[in-house]
Amino acid sequence: MQKPIDNRAWFLVAPVFCLVAFNAMLPLMTVVNYSVQDTFGNNQFFWNGVQWYAELLNPGSEFGGRFYAALGRSFAFSGVILAIEVPLGLMVALSMPKRGAKLAICLILMALPLLLPWNVVGIIWQLYARDNIGLFGWTVNAVGIPFNYTNSAIASWVVVVLMDVWHWTSLIALLCYAGLRSIPDAYYQAAKIDGASRWLVFLRIEFPKLQRVLTIGILLRFMDSFMIYTEPFVVTGGGPGNYTTFLSIDLVKIALGQFDLGKAGAMSIVYTLITLSLCWIFYTAITTRDNQEIAQ
């Protein structure tokens, strides 16, 4: 006899869902309202329709050119840090001890950067990369390489990328390590009996089992890096010039610096749609792979 399904627990979580939905929808509707209006100040708004969206999506306009430039920098930053953090995190996970005190020390050390607030990470690297008092900046200059991230586009990108790698590579490493620990020992024993090399073990056993974990890690890191704001803003403020002005930083500058709420609202909506579209692509990839494995 099938046990009846009791859905009374939903009455306990329904108030939380309603509260979260309200807190999410109210700001969203406010932004949508701003995106179709314009103002001359004094809190007086008038209907502007889709004019801001038309300018935003037009690369030939000043607003559109600014948006596409910031969007390109955001995609470039996400691509660079993924190309570094994913292989590096995987290598760290493969090199970690399996058990004992060394494992505990490794886990603690990797968890420390993840526990720091984002603004604290920015302040640490702002001081660390100074060419006069920072250990990193002073060392680079001491070996004969001119380094000043406040007036060099390349140096500012180096600092921002290294900061993100230091802060978030541990997340990839911990995810990969958890995936490796979930692989049964029988696979390794069979590979040892067959005389498989270490590279072959990784290629035929570990990497296939880590594909789902890596997909989730890439999704998390891409979304976070694509929406990054606090760390680069604290370190460079988007400079020098606009070289590290990512889409999130440019959005805040338009909304709070210029107080142009109409343009900021339109950019926020498009920004959100891009993020949701990318999340849907990753989700589709994960579910498609799961369905294929179930079918097999």
Q: For the segment 54-92, what is each residue's pLDDT rounded down to a tens digit?
A: 999 999 999 999 999 999 999 999 999 999 999 999 999
Give the mean model confidence (pLDDT) for residues 29-54.
85
Backbone angles phi, psi at 143, to 5 degrees: -85, 5
Residue 296 — very low, low, confident or very high, per pLDDT cuts 50/70/90? low
pLDDT in tens, 210-247: 988 888 899 899 989 999 999 999 999 898 988 999 99
Q: How many CA atoms lie within 13 A of 291 on its CB side?
A: 6
Average pLDDT over residues 119-132: 91
Q: What is the pLDDT of residue 226?
A: 92
Looking at the chain, the whole-number percentage of residues with pLDDT higher than 90 is: 48
Model pLDDT, residue 284? 83
Q: Which pLDDT band holds residue 295 (cuts at 50, 70, 90)?
A: low
Reported as a pLDDT band with limits 50, 70 and 90, residue 2 is low
Percentage of the residues of the chain whose pLDDT score is greater than 70: 95
Return d(Cα 62, Cα 65) in angstroms, integer.
Answer: 5
Q: What is the mean pLDDT of residues 247-267?
A: 91
| 121 band by pLDDT with thresholds 50, 70 and 90 | very high
What are φ and ψ of residue 38, in 5° steps? -135, 165
Q: What's the pLDDT score for residue 29?
A: 87
Q: How confident is the model at residue 258 (pLDDT cuts 50, 70, 90)?
A: confident
pLDDT of residue 169: 95
User: Which of residues 7 and 80 earns the better pLDDT score?
Assistant: 80
Q: Quick one: pLDDT at residue 1? A: 53
Residue 85: which of 160, 162, 158 has the closest Cα?
162
Q: Report the predicted TM-score, pTM, of the whole model to 2 decimal places.
A: 0.88
User: Is residue 5 over pLDDT 80?
Assistant: no
| Architecture of the structural domain at 76-245 | Orthogonal Bundle (1.10)
Asked whether the predicted pLDDT for residue 270 surpasses 90, the reply is: yes
> Looking at residue 63, what is its pLDDT?
92
SS3 string, 154-196, reads: HHHHHHHHHHHHHHHHHHHHHHHHHHHHCCCHHHHHHHHHCCC
Given a cut of 60, whether residue 113 has pLDDT beyond it is yes
> In this model, does residue 3 exceed pLDDT 80?
no
C-beta separation of 176 from 107 below 8 A: no
